[in-house]
Structure 1
Amino acid sequence: MFGHLLDTLAAQDLVLMWPLLLTFLTLDASVGVGLIVPGDALLIVAGTTAGSPPEVLALIAAGVVACVAGASGGHWAGRTLGPRLRHGRLGRRIGEERWERAEELFERSRWALAVAYYLPVVHALTPAVAGALGMPYRRFMPWAVIGGTAWVSTYVTLGAVAGGVVREHAELLLPVAAVAALVIVAVSAAVRRAISPGRADSPEPSSASRPPR
C-alpha cells in the first residue's frame, strides 16, 4: 500500500513538491516553524517522491534556495528585533535553554554554524541569534549556504534511496523507516558531540604556560 502511494507521488509533477519545500524551509528558520515540525522529516518524505536522479537534484536545489531564504529572514529578524525577539512572547515559548544552546554555537568555531543544520530545533534559531548578536550577514551566510546544502542533500538523498527500496520491497517499509530514523538520531548525536564544549578548539597557551626552551 505504501509502495503504491510512493509510486503515485513519484508520478506527480515536481511542481507539487517544490512549493511545499520552498514554503516550509523558508519559514523554518525565518519565523521558527522548524521549532514545531523538524525539517529533517519533510526532506526525507520529499526525497521518497523522487523517481530519478534529476528529480532528486531538483528537490535539493529547491531546498537549498529555501534554506538561504529562511536563513536570510531569520538573520534580518534577529538584527531588527534583537532582544525583543528573545524576551517576547514567542521567545519565552521557545525557552531560554534553547536560546542558550543556539548561542553556544557562536562560542565554537564558525563551522559549527554550518553543522547546526543537523540539530533539530537549534538550527531554526541560529540565524536569529546571529543577527541579534550582530554577526554581519556577509560572514554568516556562507556558513548557512554550506550547512543548508549539506543538510538538504543528505536527507533528500536518504529519502530517495529509502523510497526506491520500499517501491521494490514493500515489506521492508518498517525496517527502512527505522533505519532512516536512526540515521537522523545518529547524525544529530555526532554533531552535538563534535561541537560540545569538550571538543571546542583549545585556546593558544599563554606565554606563562609555555614550557621553557
Structure 2
Amino acid sequence: MNDVLSWVLESVSAVDPLLRTLLCALGMFLETSVLVGLIVPGDTIVIVSSTGVESVLQFIALVLAVIGGALAGETVGFALGRYFGPRIQGSRLGRRLGKHHWVRAENYLRRRGGFAVFLSRFLPVFHSLIPLTVGMSGMRYRRFMAWTIPACILWSVAYVGVGSAAAGGYRELSGDLHFAGILFVGAIVAFVLLVFVVKKWLARREARHMEHDDTSRMQ
C-alpha cells in the first residue's frame, strides 16, 4: 500500500504548486456558481489538492485559494440568481434537479435567513443552490457575504488542514512504518465519516425549516 500511496502523493506534489492551487480555486468557483458541485463535490477537489501541500506557504495559499474560489463562485451564483433565477429554474438542469429542491431551498432561506446561508456550506445540494436562491430573494449581497465568509473559512481550514496533515504524517512515517499507508487512509476515512455524520445530523435538524413555507422576515 505504501508504494501505491507514495506514487499518488508524488503525482499530486509533482504538479506545479501554483497551478495546483489555481485549479483548486477554479474547481471551487465552478462548484458554487453553476451547480457543478452537484456533480463533482468540492470536498474531493480540496482533499486531493491538499495532499500536495509541503510547506506553510503552500498551506496558506491553498486555504486562501479555496476561500477565494468559493466566494467568487457564490458571487456569480448570487448574480445569476438575481438576473436569471427563474430561467435557470426552468432550464433542463433546473428541472432535472427537481422542483422540490428549489422549494426547500427557498423555504429554508425564508425561515432561517442568514443562518441558512452559513449552514448551507455544510449541507448536500444546498451549498450549490443557496447562492442562486439568495440572488432571487430580497437578501442584500453584503449580508449574504457576511454569513457565507465565516462558513467558507471554517470549511476551507478544516478540509485543507486534514488533507495536508494526513499526507504530511504519511511522508514522515512511510520510511519507518509499513502500515503508514493504513494510518493515512484511516485518517481520511475517519474525517469523511465524521463529515458524513455531521451533514446527516444537520440535515435532519434543519429539515423542519425546509419543508414548511413561512412568511417571516429574514434574519
User: What TM-score, normalized to structure 2?
Assistant: 0.82
Unaligned runs of 5+ in 2: 174-179, 210-219
Indicate the residue corresponding to 2:188 in structure 1. Answer: 177
Counterpart amino acid of 2:120? A
Distance 2:36 2:134 in 1: 18
Counterpart amino acid of 1:14? P
Deviations 1:48-105 (A, max 9, x none): 1111232111100001111111010000000001322212222101112222332233
User: Is 2:139 the counterpart of 1:128?
Assistant: no
User: Is 2:146 the counterpart of 1:142?
Assistant: yes
Deviations 1:117-159 (A, max 9, x none): 1113210110000011232212211112121111111111111
Indicate the residue corresponding to 2:8 in structure 1. Answer: 5
3-state SS of 1:17 partner = helix
Percentage of identical aligned residues:
35
3-state SS of 1:134 partner = coil
Unaligned runs of 5+ in 1: 199-213
Moved over 4 A (4+): none
User: Is 2:103 the counterpart of 1:88?
Assistant: no
Indicate the residue corresponding to 2:166 in structure 1. Answer: 162
Indicate the residue corresponding to 2:216 in structure 1. Answer: none
- Whether the 8 Å contact between 2:162 and 2:188 is mirrored in structure 1 is no
Distance 1:52 1:191 in 2: 34
Indicate the residue corresponding to 1:17 in structure 2. Answer: 20
User: What TM-score, normalized to structure 1?
Assistant: 0.84
Distance 2:154 2:198 in 1: 12
Distance 2:134 2:37 in 1: 17
- Whether the 8 Å contact between 1:102 and 1:123 is mirrored in structure 2 is no
- Whether the 8 Å contact between 1:49 and 1:160 is mirrored in structure 2 is yes
Distance 2:156 2:138 in 1: 27
